[in-house]
Every structure is written in structure tokens, then in C-alpha cells.
Chain A
Amino acid sequence: MKRSEFMRVLLKYVKSLPKDEVENIKSYYDELFTEAGVDLDDEVPDSFGNPKRVALEILAESEYLDEVEVKGERVAKEKKTNKWLIILLAILAVPVGIPAALAVLGGVVSVVLAVLAVIFGIGAMVVAPILVLIFSESLTVPTIVSLLGITIIALGFILLVVALGKWLIGLISQWISRKTLERKVQ
């Protein structure tokens, strides 16, 4: 096979590549042949191999490179937008976010305080009559009965609060599991 034929076949199989890439291939092999002393009309030595095979090797290599490049670019872009989007949202959220966060914090603190107050109140209702019964020196039967009554009312309150708490917790956990299920389905 002559050098001109070798080049014709080689370039025919790589013509799908970008123009500057084809130009690179042409100048590389032209240089190689000239350096090896193979003129356009000379026979190409066997050591140069088959031009179609050479073209396929080049194509395989360039496909691999472009794929990696495209993937790398896309991944990098997505990461960048995400980062900038998050920063932008964070900046925009500051004027609304800080008061909102304070309000939420205040709400949580007040609920916690309310719960503690109820527990403390009920606790006092249970303990106070018992203390009176122990330490008071002049106790009449009606006093004892009414003090015990208060304690029993307080115990009733405790049962009520426990029942109410159980119901509320059940409601909340049901809501959460429904939400996670919806997210999974989506």
C-alpha cells in the first residue's frame, strides 16, 4: 500500500471527528512518514500496520476521552449551581429567616415551659396535701378527707395528661410516617 492510499483510508475512517482533530491526525502521520523517508508514492512498510486498524484505535481513544470530558463537565456544573443556589437562598433567607427562627424558638420554649408548669402543678397538688397530713398538728376528719380528695383529683389529672400525651404522640408519629411514605412513593 502506498503512503497516499494509507492516508486516504486513515482519514476516511476518522472523518467523523472534529475538523481540528482530523487535521492533527493528518499532520502527525504526514510528519511520521516524511521522517521515516516514506514518500507519497512509496510503499508503506508493514511495520506501520493497517490504516483502518489505526483509525479504529484513534476513534476508540477519542470516544473515551470525550465521554469522560462531557461527564466531568456536567458533574462540575451541577455541583457549582447547587453550591451557588444554596448560598443565594441562604442570603435571601436571612431577613425572614432570623425572625422566623426566633419565633419558632420562642414557641418551642413556651411549650416546654407550659408542659413543665403543668407537671409541677400536678406534682404540687399530689405532694402538698400529703405534707399537710404529715406535719399539721390539728387535723379534723373533714380536713383529712378533703386533703385526700385533692390528692386523688391530682392523680386523676396525671392519668388524663398521660392519656392525652399518648394520643398526641400517636397522632404526630402517624403524620410523620405518612409523610415519609409519600416521599418514598415520589
Chain B
Amino acid sequence: MSFSISGPLLDFCVLALVEQEDTYGYELTQRLIEAIDISESTMYPVLRRLSKNRYLETYDKAIDGRNRRYYRITPEGIKLLKEYELDWETFKSQIDQITGGDEA
């Protein structure tokens, strides 16, 4: 994959995944790696930013005697996700317009 995914685009992907169901760091990373080219350890800053801005909230669950931190989307997070969805549609059609991707 030659396109790098970072910043708002990565936030968009994370919000979309967490909205489907609550998830934890490792699972989220694995699901992203399936589709896009990111390093396994780069999710922490993204999750921290989204939590700090209250788009995500965390809760802890005991699994096999240790802790697993889950992430859940907040109402603000859902709002941001809807904005990203609209922005993405616009962005996609703009790129298609330039590259002729919508003619096919």
C-alpha cells in the first residue's frame, strides 16, 4: 500500500472500528493491520489523543487475572465520526474527479 494513513484519516478508521464494538489496544491494532500498513506500536498516541479529547472513553476489564483496557466511543465521538464520514465522501469524489475514477 503506497498511501500512508495517519492523522485525521487514522482517527476516522479508529472511531469507525470502536463504534462497531468496544475494543482493546491489541485487537484494534490487529484489525487495522489487516487493512492498512501501520506499525503495531503506533496506536497509543492515536488512542490517547482521542481519549484526551473525549471522543473515546476507557474502562478496565479483568481477563485471566490481568487487566485489559477497553475503548468505547462517546456521543462526541459519534458526532465526529459522522463528520468524518461526510468529509470522506467529499474527499473521495474530489480525488475521483481528478483521477477519473468515477467514470468506470
Answer yes or no: B26 CB below 8 A from chain A CBs. Answer: yes
Interface residues of A (CB under 8 A from B): 24-25, 27-29, 31-32, 34-36, 45, 47-49, 51, 54, 57-58, 60-62, 65
Q: Given A28, A49, A58, A61, which contacts B40 in the complex, CB threshold below 8 Å?
A: A49
Contact among B26, B45, B68 for A57, CB-based, below 8 A: B45
Nearest-Cβ distance from residue A133 to partner chain B, whole angstroms: 85
Question: Is B41 an interface residue, CB under 8 A from the partner?
Answer: yes
Return the CB mask of B60-95 against A: 1 if under 8 Å, else 0.
Answer: 000000111100000000000000000000000000
Residue of B nearest to A21 (CB): B48
Q: Which residue of the partner chain A has the closest CB to B47? A: A28
Residue of A nearest to B27 (CB): A35
Assuming the contacts A31-B67, A34-B66, A35-B25, asked whether A47 and B39 have C-beta atoms less than 8 A apart, the reply is yes
Given contacts A24-B48, A34-B66, A65-B49, contact A49 B42 (CB under 8 A): yes
How many pairs of residues, A versus B, come closer than 8 Å at their CB atoms? Answer: 60
Interface of B is mostly: helix
- Once the chains bind, are A54 and B41 in contact (CB under 8 Å)? yes
Q: Is B69 within 8 A of A57, CB to CB?
A: no
**Is A25 in contact with B44, judged by CB distance below 8 angstroms?**
yes
CB-defined contacts of B42 to chain A, threshold 8 Å: 49, 54, 57
A48-B41 contact in complex given A31-B25, A61-B48, A62-B48, C-beta closer than 8 Å: yes
Q: Which residue of B lies closest to A65 (CB)?
A: B52
The CA-CA distance from A45 to B25 in the complex, in Å, is 17
- Cβ-neighbour of A36 out of B40, B52, B66 (below 8 A): B40
Task: Tell me, in angstroms, the Cα distance from A36 to B68 when the chains sit together.
Answer: 13
Residue among B26, B40, B66, B67 with the most chain A CB within 10 A? B40
Q: Which residues of A contact B12 (CB under 8 A)?
A: none
By beta carbon, the residue of chain B nearest A34 is: B66
A61 surroundings in chain B (CB, below 8 A)? 45, 48-49
Choice from B41, B47, B66 contacting A49 with Cβ under 8 Å: B41
Interface residue from B41, B52, B66 paired with A32 (Cβ < 8 Å): B41
